[in-house]
Amino acid sequence: MEETKTKEQKTSWARLLRNYVNKNEAKHSQNSREGDEIEIFTELYKKCKGLNGNHKNVPSLYSRVPTEEEPLLMKLREESRALFLQRRSRELLDNNELQKLWFLLDQHHTQPLQADEQMISYDDFLLVREEAGPKCKPFFQPSVFCKLLQNDPYGRISIMKFFNYVMRKIWLHQTRIGLSLYDVAGQGYLRESDLENYILELIPTLPQLNGLERSFYSFYVCTAVRKFFFFLDPLRSGKIRIQDILACSFLDDLLELRDEELSKEMQESNWFSAPSALRVYGQYLNLDKDRNGMLSKEELARYGTGTLTDVFLDRVFQECLTYEGEMDYKTYLDFVLAMENRREPQAQRYLFRILDVQHHGYLNVFSLNFFFRAIQEQMKIHGQEPIKFQDVKDEIFDMVKPKNPLKITLTDLIQSGKGDTVVSILIDLNDFWTYENREFLVPDLSDEV
């Protein structure tokens, strides 16, 4: 009996070993066949592409964007981007998830209250993170908690400030996705036509613009787009990074028009509001005396108080884009933005280009005298005693304090914080008179006290 059992065990072990060997041989044979197939495919592929035997498939650092002559590749790229943006959109919190987050924050707030405001400690902060779900976890980072941490004696943060932070982040992501849909090139920037399409389709969603006639839409879009490009594309490259659009406050000002109860004062100070756009366009029409849709130098001379010097206006028409010596609405908008925002670096860049008569990249005594002579001539016409140029020149250099005592660069002008004053007293008689009489125009507050 024992011999029989021993023989059966040996037979069983032999069978198992034989099966194992056969299985390995089959697997090796299959791997060998797959290896042969890959080798044959690689050889045929290299032959088809004209590659030599030493070619290695190294990932490229640059992917060429398909052109209009490659419609299939362009369509594939568009579809891929659309799917990517849809996926990113689904990753954002919806209204129900935001309500759930607020409920959890309210439920786990940490006592005591601080000035009737609910606070939360870091331990409870982590507890809410675990219950809120995976989509909320990116907001519950230690760095976020530290950013919102203030002078609470218990080391807590405000629930309301944290929730507002989450809402702001979601809004930024939603807006970025919305802007990216208009990024035809898919390179992270918008061209002028892209931004025009975005704002045109945004108009029906802004209650404060409901009163605009459809015939005015194109002028409104042009007015709105010019502010973005004037301040975010000062070098006139023709495109703006989406990241820059999100970082500036212009989009906030534009979307502020969703508020149906926006005050009249807020609308008047908002460049994108209907009253503001109608004001700017109305001024353009009032200046256009011959009603040809363009502005000549003589028509632009009536801008503002009508005291801009002829020399300055000549330089405007020399440096700015004109059509047969006349200015269109788009060029006029750049001019208005520069004149109304002279404290801003972009406006000073625009005006500096006009003041730099010799195109040296700096202002010297000749440049200052070139413009100030026109101020002196206007003073004579109005029966005023002209101010000596030497006094004005010394005062300008004292205000700016340039690195080179004989030259004023754009950087000097911006860093001095007096760029708007320098420009104003060189181009506008009224502004020069206001500056000269500033001590008499500004009331003495010490006497009032």
State the Cα–Cα distance between residues 362 and 413, nearest whole angstrom. Answer: 10
Torsion, Cα 193 196 198 200, to 10 degrees, reads -140
Residue 38 has a pLDDT of: 78
Residue 213 has a pLDDT of: 92
pLDDT in tens, 295-314: 999 999 999 999 999 999 99
Selected residue with higher pLDDT from 58 and 425: 425
Distance of CA 57 to the CA centre of its chain: 38
Residues 6+ apart with CB under 8 A from 292: 326
Selected residue with higher pLDDT from 320 and 65: 320
Is residue 228 scored above 90 in pLDDT?
yes
pLDDT in tens, 406-423: 999 999 999 999 999 999
Confidence of residue 32 (pLDDT cuts 50, 70, 90): low
Lowest-pLDDT range of 32-36, 128-132, 334-338: 32-36
Share of the chain above pLDDT 90, in %: 60
Residue 10 has a pLDDT of: 54
Is residue 3 scored above 70 in pLDDT?
no
Selected residue with higher pLDDT from 9 and 133: 133
pLDDT in tens, 62-81: 677 777 788 888 888 888 88
Residue 339 has a pLDDT of: 96
State the Cα–Cα distance between residues 322 and 296, nearest whole angstrom. Answer: 9
Q: Is 54 helix (H, G, I), strand (E, B) or coil?
A: coil
Rg over alpha carbons for the chain, rounded to the nearest Å, is 35
pLDDT averaged over every residue in the chain: 87
Residue 441 has a pLDDT of: 60
State the Cα–Cα distance between residues 321 and 386, nearest whole angstrom. Answer: 34
State the Cα–Cα distance between residues 94 and 89, nearest whole angstrom. Answer: 10
Q: DSSP readout, 147-209?
A: HH--S-TTS-EEHHHHHHHHHHHHHHHHHHHHHHTT-TT-SSEEEHHHHHHHHHHHGGG-GGG
Assigned token pair, 273:
């509001």
Is residue 188 scored above 70 in pLDDT?
yes
Residue 31 has a pLDDT of: 60
**Ramachandran area for residue 171 (φ above 0: left; ψ -120 to 50: alpha; else beta):** alpha
Q: What is the mean pLDDT of residues 89-107?
A: 91
> Of 356, 357, 335, which Cα lies nearest the Cα of 410?
356
State the Cα–Cα distance between residues 142 and 144, nearest whole angstrom. Answer: 5
Residues 6+ apart with CB under 8 A from 238: 191, 192
Q: What is the mean pLDDT of residues 112-116?
A: 84
Q: Is 92 helix (H, G, I), strand (E, B) or coil?
A: coil
